[in-house]
Chains A and B, each alone.
Chain A
Amino acid sequence: MKLSGLWLILAVLFLASPRVHAQQRNTVNGMVTDSSGQPLPGATISLLDQQLRVVQYVFSRSNGYFSFSTRITTGWLEVSFLGYKKHRVQWSPTTKSLLFRLHPEPDLLKEVVVKPRPSATLQGDTLMYLVRQFADKEDRSIGDVLRRLPGMELGQDGTIYFNGKKIDNLFIDGDDLMDGRYGLATRVIRKDLIRRVDIIQHHQPIVVLKDKVFTDKIAVNLVLQDENSLKLSAMAQVGVGFPAMAEVSVAPILLNKTFKSVNRAALNNAGTDYRNDLKQLGNMNYPDESNSQSRPLDLNLASNQPPDVPQQYYYLNKSALLQFNNMIRNKKGIQFKLNVNGYWDRNELDYGANTVSYLVNDTIRYRESQRTIHRPFWWNAGFHLQSNKATHFFNNSFRISLQKDRSTGQMDFNGHRFDQHLQQSKLEFSNDFNWMPAIRSRGIAEFRWLMGYGLNRQDLQLGDGYYFDVTPQQGYYDAVVQQIHSPSWQHHAYLSYKIPAGSFTQEYRLGYQSLPQSLQSRLELEQNGEILPYLNDPGNDLQWRNNSWYASAQYQLKFQKFRSEVRLPLYYRQLHSTQPDYQSVVQKRRLLFLPMLRFSVHFDNEKYLQASYEMQNDFGEMNQSYQGAILLNYRSLQSYSQAMQQQRLHRSSLVYYFQKSIKLFFSNLGISFDHKRAGLLLSDSFSNNIRQTVFLPYPNDQVTVSVHAGLSQYIFPLKTKADLKLQKQRAFQEQLVNGSLLRYQFDDFSVNTGLNKKLGRSVDLYHQSSISWGRMGLAEPEKQETSPRTRLFGFQQQFRASTRFLKSFLVEATARHRINRFTGFTGNGYFFLDAAIKRSGWIKGLDLELNVYNLFHERDYTIFYQSGNQSLTSQYPLRGRTFFLRLSYAL
């Protein structure tokens, strides 16, 4: 096919001479070839006027030749072909050379940029977002993309919310690979591995129950780009920082239909807290009734909450993390899953705090400053076996976890200096067996057996210099030691039968639950090598057993637009508790009725109203019935006056959801009302150095009303995602303080906004703000003189701007501004600035990034908190300006 050079020249010489047919009409002949001389058929030859508008055009024939005749005398002649550089010459009827040799332009398509008009597709209950439409060039992980999806919101810890509702779980290609700890998955799975993000309303993960049992859950499913992929992808990071910081992490990932694996090993001392990656964000699929696990009893160093600024600013750590999440499915569809997580850390926190307690006739102030060192260690593993089919569902999960923390603190409290040591150890294991076969006569049976064991051991030692301010043993000791030993068992088994019949589903369940627990605690004072017992009480040796039989009926009704769910469980609960030291044997038998009602109206796929009511009725927990005082920390001594007080909680809410997915608009509006009638009244007595809390058996009420609204809209002409969230809350609570009964009122109002805007092709702007007003004080105004109503105002905004330049560079600046105001204190304001420059695509897959945190070198941070009748001011030292250079490689 290739023409010899001579032939080519001859042909051109012959063809190129324009011949004049008529006076004004010129016939033009020519040829288009590629750079090697091969003729190019189908190239476009256009005659343009002076404004470069096409006047006339022709395509080259299969041999590369073209010809046309024209009356035009001035303008341009342009030859173009997709994949080649445009060739444009000045046109005049005397133009001689009409051989066009086009040179390939591999990057011609760079002009053809992605111009997506983002959209979501709604199919039934599933809303689908194509990742490529929403992803931006600088996004690396799928979490970066999730943040950009309209209606979607990612919490600080990685929790995903959709239209204001927390999602039930995150699935990868339909599988719960992470066992609910999906934070890691969103951070390390590269966006290129995911084709689509599906948001599934009314998600039913159990195939047997699909289309039979209705749920209210929302799940997110990441649809794989290639579900047969055998390619191992990895994300590796190495970073060094000034002053003296380093980070290494590697996350190999393999995702396909039969094998899924998301693993990570990481080390850092640069202020990254790995605990977010270990958080249980998604549902563990526990049966509704058995999740009433009692709150753990924890001793503490009374160290403050960490400040609400980015962790890099203050977190002085040395952390290591190992995570394995592997799942394989055999040919029969049986899924084996192993999740193992290990976490080691040593972190330091310094703080100073002022606590003010407002009493009726007095105001007590505590001043403390402390340097704490925590050495947490956490190891957990889960092995799961699952078969999820149309005929049956089988699952067995075995989980084991060991959590330890050794912490020390150097305390200066009201002028007393002392050391404290705290050792905590929690061992837990559990096995959850679940078998759900579909029975031929259209019913679904279920057997579930959940068993667990936990051991909680804690040991708090307050060293020399601590002033023990409890009569009659006030004084200084060599050591004050508080010990706790608390093993507990949990058994829960039930049999159930579900009868789905189109729009009406019935479920009947018979179950047994048993929670044997015990608590031993001892408070001791050491003086000159002698151990003195605490005189006011002999500590605790509490045996506790909570057994119940229950029968429940549950109905789901689907009628046209209406869906309702009613659960009517009847419990026969037996409580048995003995405290020999107090000659206390308590035995109670009760019938408890705990109804739950949910009702929704689905106007269509995109609009629905949901109402729910729930009642909880309980005897209280073991951790709320110990009679011997426990020194929770150096300034709180807590005990309960009598075992087994009944608590009743009514919880109701009404929410309206409205979305218009084609317009990418999402909104919700809701109100909720909680009323708790507790049999225990909190009674505080404050002295200059200690707060003694006793829970007395008097009924009291706690009421919370809250109204919230949320809006999210993608504004097409502005290419902007905008979010708005409003919340107003009022709560009442009763409390005995130094003998007088006080009723407190709390008011909160908060406004949150978010804006994500793209300017042109390379500038990305993000703004987020939150304003909150709080008011707290006694509900009765006449008592106000001594216990003032306090007001709190907080405003914080974050502004981030990034721009790309020179193709592969990205500059980003993040500014955080906050103002805190609080009655009785001078307000403060902070301005933090972070900056980063990133270079991507230097070598394929390699990104280089230089971060500067806290550019303005803020060294101190003060924040206000309030709770009950106390207000707290805390000061923290910050790291100051730090530099961090990070190299990430995505394979």
Chain B
Amino acid sequence: MKKIFLLHAALLFALSPFAQVPVKLNVVYAFTYVRDLDQPENPFQSNMILSIGKGQSRYCPELLYNDNDPKAIAARKKAQEKMENAPSGSIPVASGGPMLTVSKYGALVKEEIHKNFVTKKMDLDARVALRTYHVSAGLPDIIWSVVTDTKKIGDYDCQKATGEFAGRSYEAWFTTQIPYPDGPWKLHGLPGLILEARDSRNEISFTLKEITRNDDADVTTRSFLRDAYSINTQEKDLLKANRAFVMDPEGVMSAQAPNARLMVKNLDKPGDKTVVKIRKYNPMER
């Protein structure tokens, strides 16, 4: 009985549109985002990695990417085993209390975007405070208009396109030398990889840092965040949760884990327990 169940589960997984494929390219973008309109001079900054495979891609912060080396996986596996063996009802918390990871820009939301160009689906996974959410949606349609401006980014000949997406107009530079209709974040749909993009308000920008090629078939576009405990939700609810969390990280965290003592981990300044709150939230999708 158990065997049959496993077989079904495996089949289901293999057939699901999010089946992982080997990564061919890793593209690193420097991402800047004026998240707090009160502090436009101190934008949120992070490196983001777009991992492209055949027909699919994964986009996530470099931090999340680096966290998923075999060491971290082993530790998580151990924690998970512990959790599964624990008597029911116990809340898995790290010793001392749930950890709130922040940087000098405030709370960090670990977010992943999976695009599938065959099924035209997009999956979002995000860890907001202690919970992991999952959203399954269609790939958004972005109507781009290609113009004749060209420039060179690194060794690539790029051409400009402009398009509207989620209440902002973007200028994107793509290269047909990498014939893949992908790009940073949710941007996609041009006849080549988008290497650079910025919005017209100059609040969001993605610039290319590096492209590396991957030959290791074990490196796949699998999700780092999604697991059996992910909560399915709608895109607009996820955006709302996200907003609430960055505006009051400790509040949301305490709401999710009442009675627990919060631990703060500052990646930029270890030992600093203060949490920067966003005062005037500027959503990416308006």
Binding site for B on A (CB under 8 A): 41-42, 44, 46, 49, 51, 53-57, 59, 62, 78, 80-83, 86, 109, 111-117, 119, 123-124, 132-133, 195, 226-228
Identify the closest chain A residue to B30 (Cβ).
A117
Enumerate chain A residues within 8 angstroms of B146, measured Cβ to Cβ.
53-57
Q: Which of A46, A55, A114 contacts B211 (CB 8 A)?
A: A114
B193 to chain A, nearest CB (A): 9
**Residue-by-residue, is B156-177 near A (CB-CB < 8 Å gives 1, otherwise 0)?**
0001000000000000000011
Check A112–B178 contact: CB distance below 8 A: yes
Q: Which of A49, A109, A133 contacts B24 (CB 8 A)?
A: A109
Report the 10 A-B pairs with minimum CB-CB distance, sorted nearest first: A80-B179, A57-B191, A116-B210, A124-B270, A44-B191, A46-B191, A42-B117, A82-B180, A115-B154, A114-B212
Enumerate chain B residues within 8 angstroms of A114, measured Cβ to Cβ.
210-213
A51 vs B159: C-alpha distance when bound (angstroms): 12
Check A113–B74 contact: CB distance below 8 A: no
Enumerate chain B residues within 8 angstroms of A78, measured Cβ to Cβ.
176
Q: Which of A62, A82, A116, A124 contacts B179 (CB 8 A)?
A: A82
B139 to chain A, nearest CB (A): 11
Identify the closest chain A residue to B74 (Cβ).
A228
Identify the closest chain B residue to A51 (Cβ).
B148
Enumerate chain A residues within 8 angstroms of B180, measured Cβ to Cβ.
82
Could you tell me how many residues of chain B have their Cβ less than 8 Å away from some Cβ of chain A? 34
A226 vs B218: C-alpha distance when bound (angstroms): 12
Identify the closest chain B residue to A126 (Cβ).
B270
Q: Assess whether B274 is interfacial by the CB under 8 Å rule.
A: no
Enumerate chain B residues within 8 angstroms of A81, measured Cβ to Cβ.
179
Q: Which of A54, A112, A119 contacts B159 (CB 8 A)?
A: A54
Q: Which of A42, A49, A109 contacts B118 (CB 8 A)?
A: A42
A818 vs B105: C-alpha distance when bound (angstroms): 53
Identify the closest chain B residue to A45 (Cβ).
B191
Q: Which of B54, B159, B192, B213 contacts A44 (CB 8 A)?
A: B192
Enumerate chain B residues within 8 angstroms of A113, measured Cβ to Cβ.
155, 211, 213
- 27 A/B residue pairs, CB under 8 Å, sorted by A: A42-B55, A44-B181, A44-B192, A53-B148, A53-B150, A54-B191, A57-B146, A57-B191, A59-B117, A59-B181, A81-B179, A82-B52, A83-B54, A109-B213, A112-B177, A112-B178, A112-B213, A113-B211, A114-B211, A115-B154, A115-B210, A115-B212, A132-B212, A133-B210, A227-B70, A227-B71, A228-B74
Enumerate chain B residues within 8 angstroms of A123, measured Cβ to Cβ.
267, 270
Enumerate chain B residues within 8 angstroms of A86, measured Cβ to Cβ.
179
Enumerate chain B residues within 8 angstroms of A55, measured Cβ to Cβ.
146
Enumerate chain A residues within 8 angstroms of B270, measured Cβ to Cβ.
123-124
Enumerate chain A residues within 8 angstroms of B181, measured Cβ to Cβ.
42, 44, 59
Enumerate chain B residues within 8 angstroms of A228, measured Cβ to Cβ.
70, 74
Enumerate chain A residues within 8 angstroms of B52, measured Cβ to Cβ.
82
A57 vs B52: C-alpha distance when bound (angstroms): 21
Check B211–A115 contact: CB distance below 8 A: yes
Docked complex: B35-54 residues within 8 A CB-CB of A = 52, 54
Identify the closest chain A residue to B71 (Cβ).
A227
Check B69–A41 contact: CB distance below 8 A: no
Enumerate chain B residues within 8 angstroms of A195, measured Cβ to Cβ.
69
A57 vs B163: C-alpha distance when bound (angstroms): 14
B206 to chain A, nearest CB (A): 14
Interface core residue of A41, A54, A114, A117 (most chain B CB under 10 Å): A54
Enumerate chain B residues within 8 angstroms of A56, measured Cβ to Cβ.
146
A57-B146, A59-B181, A82-B54 known; A112 vs B25 contact (CB < 8 Å) = yes
A34 to chain B, nearest CB (A): 12
Enumerate chain A residues within 8 angstroms of B192, measured Cβ to Cβ.
44, 54
Q: Assess whether B186 is interfacial by the CB under 8 Å rule.
A: no
Check B178–A82 contact: CB distance below 8 A: yes
Q: Assess whether B127 is interfacial by the CB under 8 Å rule.
A: no
**Residue-by-residue, is B183-213 near A (CB-CB < 8 Å gives 1, otherwise 0)?**
0000000111000000000000000111111
A650 to chain B, nearest CB (A): 36
A114-B210, A133-B210 known; A54 vs B70 contact (CB < 8 Å) = no
A229 vs B50: C-alpha distance when bound (angstroms): 27
Binding site for A on B (CB under 8 A): 24-25, 52, 54-55, 69-71, 74, 117-118, 146, 148, 150, 154-155, 159, 176-181, 190-192, 208-213, 267, 270
Identify the closest chain A residue to B157 (Cβ).
A52
A226 vs B270: C-alpha distance when bound (angstroms): 27
Identify the closest chain B residue to A80 (Cβ).
B179
A58 to chain B, nearest CB (A): 9
* Extra A-B contacts (8), CB below 8 Å, given A109-B24, A115-B154: A44-B192, A49-B148, A80-B191, A82-B178, A82-B180, A119-B209, A228-B70, A228-B74
Check B70–A226 contact: CB distance below 8 A: yes
A78 vs B24: C-alpha distance when bound (angstroms): 22
Q: Which of B25, B118, B150, B190 contacts A62 (CB 8 A)?
A: B118
Q: Which of A46, A59, A226 contacts B176 (CB 8 A)?
A: A46
A54 vs B158: C-alpha distance when bound (angstroms): 10
Check A44–B179 contact: CB distance below 8 A: yes
Identify the closest chain B residue to A49 (Cβ).
B148
Check A54–B176 contact: CB distance below 8 A: yes
B215 to chain A, nearest CB (A): 9
Check A109–B25 contact: CB distance below 8 A: yes
A113 vs B154: C-alpha distance when bound (angstroms): 11
B172 to chain A, nearest CB (A): 12
Enumerate chain A residues within 8 angstroms of B191, measured Cβ to Cβ.
44, 46, 54, 57, 80
B85 to chain A, nearest CB (A): 18
B247 to chain A, nearest CB (A): 26
Enumerate chain A residues within 8 angstroms of B25, measured Cβ to Cβ.
109, 112
Enumerate chain B residues within 8 angstroms of A51, measured Cβ to Cβ.
148
B152 to chain A, nearest CB (A): 12
A81 vs B118: C-alpha distance when bound (angstroms): 13
A714 to chain B, nearest CB (A): 14
Check A117–B177 contact: CB distance below 8 A: no
Identify the closest chain A residue to B177 (Cβ).
A111
B162 to chain A, nearest CB (A): 13
Enumerate chain A residues within 8 angstroms of B178, measured Cβ to Cβ.
82, 112
A109-B213, A226-B70, A228-B70 known; A115 vs B155 contact (CB < 8 Å) = yes
Interface core residue of B159, B179, B208, B267 (most chain A CB under 10 Å): B179
A78 vs B176: C-alpha distance when bound (angstroms): 10
A56 vs B143: C-alpha distance when bound (angstroms): 12
Identify the closest chain A residue to B150 (Cβ).
A53
Check B148–A83 contact: CB distance below 8 A: no
Enumerate chain B residues within 8 angstroms of A226, measured Cβ to Cβ.
70
Enumerate chain A residues within 8 angstroms of B148, measured Cβ to Cβ.
49, 51, 53
Identify the closest chain B residue to A116 (Cβ).
B210
Enumerate chain B residues within 8 angstroms of A44, measured Cβ to Cβ.
176, 179, 181, 191-192
A83 vs B25: C-alpha distance when bound (angstroms): 11
Identify the closest chain B residue to A111 (Cβ).
B177
A488 to chain B, nearest CB (A): 46
Identify the closest chain B residue to A132 (Cβ).
B212
A42 vs B191: C-alpha distance when bound (angstroms): 10
Enumerate chain A residues within 8 angstroms of B54, measured Cβ to Cβ.
82-83
